[in-house]
C-alpha cells in the first residue's frame, strides 16, 4: 500500500486509524515518522513519504513521533493473511526468532538461504531481518521502560540487546530520548502488580469479544486455562521459561498482564497473546467482503468485528483437536485435563488462581501408554501417531508452517479428515480462509439462514467469502446459543 501515494495522503489527512500498521508516514522536514492517525496537523503532501514498516523508517534515518507513538500501532494484517515466505518470515521475526536464533536460524526454518531472505524482505519491506528485529527490540525496551521499575541494565538484556551501550544508542536514535527521559516522560498509568508486566494490546476497531473470549473460556483446559474475574488466563510455554497471561477485554484495547519467569520471553509472550486473540486482523476488510452476501450481512451488521480464536501453541491445539473429535466440548476438556494432570509440568500461579500446569509437550506425550487413555482404540491410534510425528519432527506445526503443506501432512495421518485438518489450519496455523463445511454447527446455521447445507454445496457458495471463510465460520457459529458464543459472566 505504501506505493499508493494518493491513497496514503488521504489516510493521513483524514486521520484514518484503519491504516495504522499498514503504512507509516515519514515527514521529510522534521525527520519524524508517524502513524496515519497521528493527532498533529498533517504535513504538506510534498513533505510526506511512506514506508511499509517502522524498521524501514528507522533505517532511512527517521525517529518515532512522541505524540502518536507509531511503534505501538497494531501489526500489519497482511502477514496473517498470507502464506508466502515474506509473511512467514514476518511472523517469525515478530515471535522473536531472530533474537534467539539469528538470521541463519530464521532462514533455516523457512528453507531458504540468508541471502534470499534478506533480499525478499528488503524488496517488500525496505528493511532486512536484522533491522526488523532491531525495531522490535526498541519497542520491547520502551514497554519495559514505561511499565516496570526494572533497572536499565535488566531491561537492555531482557529486550534482546547484546550490550547496554547498544540499548542506549538504539533508544536515543529511535525515540530521540535517553532511556531515563523516556521513563520520566512516558510512564503509563497502568495498574502495577508486583512481579508482573501490565500493558495494553491495541487492535483495529471494531472487535466483538463475545465469541472470542467465550470460545477460549468454554473450551479451556482446567489447570492450563481459566476465566476469572472477567479475564481469560492461561499458562504459556516459552523459550527461556514459562509464563502466565491474563487478558481482559476493554472497549479500545486488551489489558494484558504477564507474569514471566524470564523477561527475555517478553517479546514472544506478547506475540503469542496477539496471535491468540487475532488482534492484527483488519475487521473492516473482512466484514466488507462478508456483507456482500445478503444472507450473511445481517449477522455481520449485528455484531461486526468477530475474530478467530486461536492458540498459543500449535502442537497443543492439534492434540486437543484430536481429543475433541466426535465428543462434546465438556468431554474434550475432561480428556485434555487428564493428560495435563498426568503428563503436564507443574507451575505456580502467583495470583492464587486455578492455573497449575503447562500443557504437556509432544515429547512427554509420546511416552504415554495408549491403554491408559479413556478413548476408543481408533482415536488412541490417531493421538499416538500425531504426538509421535510431532515429537520426532516429521510433522512441524508453528507460525511459519506452510498451510497447504501442513494440511497434506495431517491428512496422511490415520484418523485425520477434513474437519480436524481445517480446524487446526484455522485456529492453530492461522489460515484466514480455512473452512469447515461438514461441521454440525455450520450446517445447522446454514440451514436456518437458507444457505446450502450439504458440504459440497456450501463450499461452492462460500467461494464468494474468500479469502475470509474462517471469519464466516465465526459468524455462522454465533447463530447458536452454545457457551462458546457468549462472554462469560
End of a domain among 186, 218, 251? Answer: 186
Residue 439 in any domain: the answer is: no
pLDDT score recorded for residue 130: 94
Alpha-carbon torsion (133, 136, 142, 147), positive or negative = negative
User: Mean pLDDT over residues 314-330, rounded?
Assistant: 94
Over the stretch 266-291, which tens digit does the pLDDT of each residue have? 999 999 999 999 999 999 999 999 99
DSSP state of 198: E
pLDDT score recorded for residue 61: 93
What are the b/e assignments for 116-146, b being 16+ CB within 10 Å? ebbebbeebbbbbbbbbbbbbbbbbbbbbbe
126 and 174 fall within a common domain: yes
- Residue that wins the pLDDT comparison between 148 and 457: 457
**Widest CA span in the chain:** 72
Over the stretch 47-105, which tens digit does the pLDDT of each residue have? 999 999 999 999 999 999 989 989 888 888 888 888 899 999 999 999 999 999 999 99
Question: Which residues does residue 227 pair with via DSSP β-bridges, in sequence order?
Answer: 232
User: Mean pLDDT over residues 218-231, rounded?
Assistant: 96
User: Mean pLDDT over residues 41-45, rounded?
Assistant: 94
Alpha-carbon torsion (362, 366, 367, 370), positive or negative = positive
DSSP state of 75: P
Integer Cα distance of 287 and 253 in angstroms: 20
User: Closest by alpha carbon to 136, among 182, 184, 174?
Assistant: 174
pLDDT of 191 over the 80 cut: no
User: Closest by alpha carbon to 155, among 191, 189, 180, 132?
Assistant: 180
Contacts of 4 (CB under 8 A, 6+ apart): none
**Catalytic positions, written as ranges:** 34, 439
Residue 84 lies in domain = 78-186
Strand order in the sheet with 48-51: 48-51, 24-27, 32-34, 63-64
Length of the chain: 489
117 and 57 fall within a common domain: no
pLDDT of 186 over the 70 cut: no
pLDDT score recorded for residue 79: 86
pLDDT of 229 over the 60 cut: yes
Helix H or strand E segment including 111: none
End of a domain among 20, 48, 72? Answer: 72
Residue 180 banded pLDDT, cuts 50, 70, 90: very high
Could you give phi then psi for residue 55, rounded to 5 degrees?
-65, -40
C-alpha distance across the termini of the chain, in Å: 41
Residue 142 in any domain: the answer is: yes
**Which CATH number belongs to the domain containing residue 85 in this structure?**
1.10.10.60
Number of domains in the chain: 2
86 and 104 fall within a common domain: yes
User: Closest by alpha carbon to 80, among 310, 349, 258?
Assistant: 310
The torsion defined by the Cα of 430, 95, 269 and 161, in degrees rounded to 10, comes to -170
Enter the pTM of the model.
0.92
User: Closest by alpha carbon to 21, among 102, 77, 82, 69?
Assistant: 77
Average pLDDT taken over every residue of the chain:
93
User: Mean pLDDT over residues 208-228, rounded?
Assistant: 96
**Which CATH number belongs to the domain containing residue 46 in this structure?**
3.40.10.10
Residue 160 in any domain: the answer is: yes
14 and 65 fall within a common domain: yes
pLDDT score recorded for residue 348: 95
Strands 63-64 and 32-34, sheet pairing: parallel
On whether the CB atoms of residues 51 and 24 are closer than 8 A, the answer is yes
pLDDT of 221 over the 90 cut: yes
Amino acid at each position: 500500500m505504501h506505493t499508493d501515494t494518493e491513497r496514503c495522503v488521504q489516510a493521513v489527512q483524514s486521520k484514518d486509524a484503519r491504516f495504522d500498521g499498514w503504512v507509516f508516514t515519514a515527514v521529510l522536514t522534521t525527520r519524524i515518522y508517524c502513524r496515519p492517525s497521528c493527532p498533529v496537523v498533517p504535513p504538506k503532501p510534498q513533505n510526506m513519504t511512506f514506508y511499509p514498516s517502522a524498521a524501514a523508517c528507522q533505517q532511512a534515518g527517521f525517529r518515532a513521533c512522541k505524540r502518536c507513538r507509531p511503534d505501538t500501532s497494531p501489526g500489519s494484517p497482511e502477514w496473517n493473511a498470507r502464506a508466502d515466505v515474506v509473511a512467514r518470515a514476518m511472523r517469525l521475526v515478530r515471535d522473536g526468532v531472530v533474537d534467539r536464533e539469528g538470521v541463519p536460524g530464521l532462514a533455516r526454518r523457512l528453507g531458504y538461504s540468508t541471502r534470499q531472505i534478506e533480499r525478499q524482505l528488503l524488496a517488500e519491506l525496505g528493511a532486512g531481518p536484522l533491522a526488523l528485529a532491531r525495531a522490535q527490540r526498541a519497542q520491547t525496551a520502551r514497554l519495559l521502560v514505561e511499565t516496570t521499575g526494572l533497572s536499565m541494565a535488566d531491561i537492555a538484556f531482557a529486550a534482546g540487546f547484546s550490550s547496554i551501550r547498544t540499548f542506549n544508542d538504539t533508544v536515543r536514535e529511535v525515540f530521540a530520548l535517553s532511556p531515563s527521559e523516556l521513563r520520566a516522560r512516558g510512564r503509563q498509568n497502568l495498574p502495577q502488580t508486583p512481579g508482573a508486566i501490565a500493558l495494553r494490546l491495541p487492535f483495529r476497531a471494531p472487535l466483538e469479544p463475545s465469541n472470542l473470549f467465550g470460545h477460549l473460556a468454554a473450551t479451556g483446559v482446567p489447570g492450563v486455562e481459566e476465566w476469572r474475574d472477567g479475564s481469560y488466563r492461561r499458562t504459556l510455554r516459552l523459550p527461556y521459561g514459562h509464563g502466565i497471561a491474563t487478558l481482559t477485554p476493554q472497549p479500545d484495547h486488551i489489558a494484558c498482564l504477564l507474569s514471566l519467569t524470564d523477561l527475555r520471553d517478553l517479546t514472544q509472550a506478547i506475540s503469542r497473546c496477539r496471535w491468540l486473540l487475532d488482534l492484527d486482523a483488519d475487521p473492516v476488510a473482512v466484514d466488507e467482503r462478508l456483507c456482500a452476501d445478503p444472507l450473511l450481512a445481517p449477522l455481520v451488521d449485528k455484531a461486526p468485528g468477530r475474530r478467530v480464536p486461536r492458540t498459543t501453541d500449535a502442537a497443543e491445539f492439534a492434540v486437543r483437536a484430536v481429543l475433541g473429535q466426535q465428543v462434546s466440548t465438556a468431554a474434550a476438556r475432561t480428556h485434555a485435563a487428564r493428560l495435563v494432570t498426568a503428563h503436564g509440568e507443574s507451575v505456580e500461579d502467583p495470583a492464587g488462581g486455578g492455573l497449575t500446569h503447562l500443557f504437556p509437550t509432544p515429547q512427554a506425550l509420546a511416552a504415554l501408554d495408549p491403554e491408559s487413555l479413556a478413548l476408543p482404540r481408533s482415536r488412541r491410534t490417531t493421538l499416538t501417531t500425531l504426538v509421535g510425528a510431532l515429537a520426532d519432527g516429521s510433522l512441524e506445526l508453528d507460525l511459519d508452517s506452510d498451510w497447504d503443506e501442513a494440511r497434506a501432512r495431517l491428512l496422511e495421518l490415520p484418523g485425520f479428515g477434513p474437519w480436524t485438518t481445517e480446524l487446526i489450519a484455522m485456529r492453530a496455523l492461522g489460515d484466514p480462509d480455512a473452512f469447515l463445511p461438514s461441521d454440525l454447527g455450520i450446517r445447522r446455521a446454514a440451514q436456518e439462514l437458507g444457505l446450502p447445507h450439504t458440504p459440497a454445496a456450501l463450499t461452492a457458495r462460500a467461494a464468494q467469502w474468500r479469502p475470509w471463510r474462517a471469519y464466516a465460520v465465526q459468524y455462522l457459529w454465533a447463530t447458536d446459543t452454545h457457551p462458546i458464543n457468549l462472554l462469560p459472566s
